[in-house]
Amino acid sequence: MIETTEFADIPTTTLADLLGRDRVMDIGIRPLWGAGLGPVPVPRVAGPAFTVRCPPGDNLMLHAAIHRAPAGSVIVVESGDLDHALAGGNVCAVAQRRGVAGFVLDGLIRDLAEVREARFPVFARGVIPIPGAKNAVAPLGGSVRCGGVRVEAGDVVVADEEGVVAVPAARRADVLAAARAKLAKEAAETLDDWEAAHRARIDEILAQGGFEG
């Protein structure tokens, strides 16, 4: 069985090239600290999805999930609520202490300074100071939609400062092998080689389109 931590050295750009647009979350799901905001970038997060669904205005099931998600997992939340925070500093601290790799939330958090100081990776839509309620009980581990991408429990979620990609669990071995082969090929190619191949390809496309110049 392939350990999903093996994806930790695979950039999301490489995975996006292999998987295409429908496995890449929209640009609203972004790192809430580290991306261009200081000397310490947000670390790449890679792990199996532990999926949670929270209705707008309620964060109960995310708060339940931090006590149930296995170490190494990425908690992925469907919410879409832009009026209430799904989590704050203590929730993130407990998740971090229990070994959760990070949060990918289609929603908001609060206590960003605490989260940043703890270096806990959170990818979400933003920050708001008001918390949600805790009333809506729902199952954990179901299919969710986060950032426009359907994510199943156990899919491999990889997130870094470039974006968030969900690798279907059934394809993880093939995708990992293809990603490693792609990275090895790129590492063996000099910039001169790349430039020559790139110009030839672009010039061919231009010629086919009737461009002169």
pLDDT tens per residue across span 197-213: 999 999 999 999 999 88
CA trace torsion 86, 43, 35, 14 (10° rounding): -110
Q: Which of 143, 137, 159 is nearest to 59 (CA)?
A: 137
Asked whether residue 196 carries a pLDDT value surpassing 80, the answer given is yes
Stated pTM of the model? 0.93
pLDDT at 5: 82
Query: Is the separation of the CB atoms in 166 and 159 below 8 Å?
Result: no
Asked whether residue 14 carries a pLDDT value surpassing 80, the answer given is yes
In sequence order, which residues have a C-beta less than 8 Å from that of residue 156 and are 6 or more positions away?
Answer: 4, 7, 46, 47, 48, 49, 166, 167, 169, 172, 175
Q: What is the pLDDT of residues 63-105, one digit of tens each?
A: 999 999 999 999 999 999 999 999 999 999 999 999 999 999 9
> CA-to-CA distance for 62 and 69, rounded, in angstroms?
10
Query: Is the separation of the CB atoms in 106 and 81 below 8 Å?
Result: no
Q: State the DSSP H helix or E strand holding residue 96, giving kind and residue range, or none if neither.
A: helix 89-97
Tokens representing 207? 């010629």
Asked whether residue 45 carries a pLDDT value surpassing 70, the answer given is yes
Asked whether residue 35 carries a pLDDT value surpassing 70, the answer given is no
What does the mean pLDDT of the chain come to? 95
Tokens representing 176? 């990992």
> CA-to-CA distance for 112 and 126, rounded, in angstroms?
9
Q: What is the pLDDT of residues 107-128, one digit of tens each?
A: 999 999 999 999 999 999 999 9
pLDDT at 36: 53
Tokens representing 200? 């030839």
DSSP assignment letter at 140? S
Query: Is the separation of the CB atoms in 56 and 83 below 8 Å?
Result: yes
Tokens representing 51? 């999926």
Asked whether residue 106 carries a pLDDT value surpassing 70, the answer given is yes
Query: Is the separation of the CB atoms in 83 and 128 below 8 Å?
Result: yes
Asked whether residue 153 carries a pLDDT value surpassing 90, the answer given is yes
> CA-to-CA distance for 119 and 112, rounded, in angstroms?
10
Mean pLDDT value of segment 162-171: 97
User: What angle (nearest 5°) sits at the alpha carbon of residue 98, between those of residues 92 and 100?
Assistant: 65
Rg, the chain, Cα only: 19
pLDDT at 58: 97
